[in-house]
Amino acid sequence: MAKDGFGKDPERDFRELLDSSPDCVLVTDYDTHRYLYVNHTSCVMTGYGLQELLSMHVSELTLQSEAEIRETYERARQAGERGYTEEPQLLLSKDRSRRGWWESNLRFKVIGGQEVIVIVSREVTPRILAERAASRATKIYAALSSANEAIIHSSSSEELFQAVCDAAIESGGMTTAAMLMPAPGSDLMELQAMAGKGRDTMEVAVISTDPQRPEGRGLIGKAFRTGKPSITDDYLQDTRTTHWHTLVRDRTQIRSAASVPIIRHGRSVGALYLCSRERRAFDEEIIGLLVRMAGNLSFALQNFEHEEKRREAEERAHYLATHCGLTGLPNRNLLTDLLGQAIASVGRTGHRPAIMFIDLDRFKEINDAWGHDTGDGVLQKTSGRLREVLREHDVLARLGGDEFVVLVQNIDHQDHAVRVAEKLLAASKEPVVVEGQPFTVTLSIGISLYPEHGIHPTDLMKAADLAMYVAKDKGKATWALSGEGRPQAIQ
């Protein structure tokens, strides 16, 4: 054995050296694009035999066009000794059992007077997958950030759900994003918001939470039931999604999908559903980020609920401060505000308001004889009947006890106010029935007009109050106009 260099057959030794390389080494003719040499690794990785490869055209293996090959070879020639490195390509073996990403370096050489391209191709699948996973994670981080910003700025769950779906598409790189929640009293999931492709599919797809139904065995139903993410890396081959294969196959390009439950108080209240064109798009890191997103959504829903309760309490407090608890009519505070607004608008509209003070005649007798519960019923029935007589924009208010006030809008003449008073008196002639007992309640009405009897709310209210006592003292069941010393008879 020689001490230096190769043995007695250097060419054979050199071939064995190349065959032992983990990289594919191939030599092609520069002009014909035919393989002149391939090492053993090339045969193993491609699944083709040596003679098969040596009889092949480069385009048959790489699936590139003649024009693409010529352009690549020319770049290698221009690159000189440093060679030209192609972008990684996804290649399949002969029997399609092996699939991976390969990065090739091409160098132009003249060997024995023949122009050739020497190709050293290395599998970079782990690197490409890692880069893609990192890219996906970066996009989901961006989507998470956008979702968190939406939580801050959204004023409703509907607005938030749509913002999250939009973020998953625009920042997260997803193909489809949807938010679903169960319909009240049903096992069916309803679409709350969506972005991306497949809207026509999502709108007609039946999705259930019931595992006994085929519609409930998919990713969304399982995630909702278990409270854990549900994932598929091959949607159209997954038996859990069989029910939707026909619907999805011709309409979308789903490769992988995931559903993440929205948990509140330890139970599922909804599900975030995402689809991607890429296989294995939902690795452990991505799912972790989506779970964080779902947790933030749950927190936002809790805040919306607290805000809704606070707003309802505030509205209730305002209602109680401005309305009668028994009849639901405006009280003195609200009536004063509305009268002030009516007076302020006179200069703009030319329509004047009138005030009518109403007292229920002999109501105290009913209260004393039949009790407060019956008395309250009479007040409620009477107020409802008076409200029916008035126009929609007139205001009936209760000041307390058996005292009511009507703010009549748009009075152009005194006779208009009188006609309203007569309608109210006519309505009171029919008895109201409370717990099967009829009660006839007549009215005493005092009328004041703007501006004849006052230009301020307090002046008008006082004038109408005094006129009401005139009507009551002069026989009841009638009306009186402010400033008159005797009641006006009903014509």
Catalytic residues, by residue number, are 402
Tokens read off for 436: 């099967």
Closest CA to 360 of 439, 442, 430: 442
**Secondary structure element (H or E) that encloses residue 61, with its range:** helix 58-62
Single-letter code of the amino acid located at 33 = H
The rounded distance, in Å, linking the Cα atoms of 273 and 254 is: 12
| Vertex 89 angle, CA 86 and 91, to 5° | 140
The rounded distance, in Å, linking the Cα atoms of 442 and 437 is: 16
Single-letter code of the amino acid located at 54 = L
Name the β-bridge partners of 352.
Answer: 411
CA distances to 33, 214, 225, 250, 369 from 218, in Å: 50, 8, 11, 19, 69
Q: What is the DSSP letter of 234?
A: -
Judged by phi (left if over 0) then psi (alpha if -120 to 50, else beta), residue 59 lies in alpha
Closest CA to 284 of 450, 417, 136: 136
The rounded distance, in Å, linking the Cα atoms of 188 and 278 is: 29
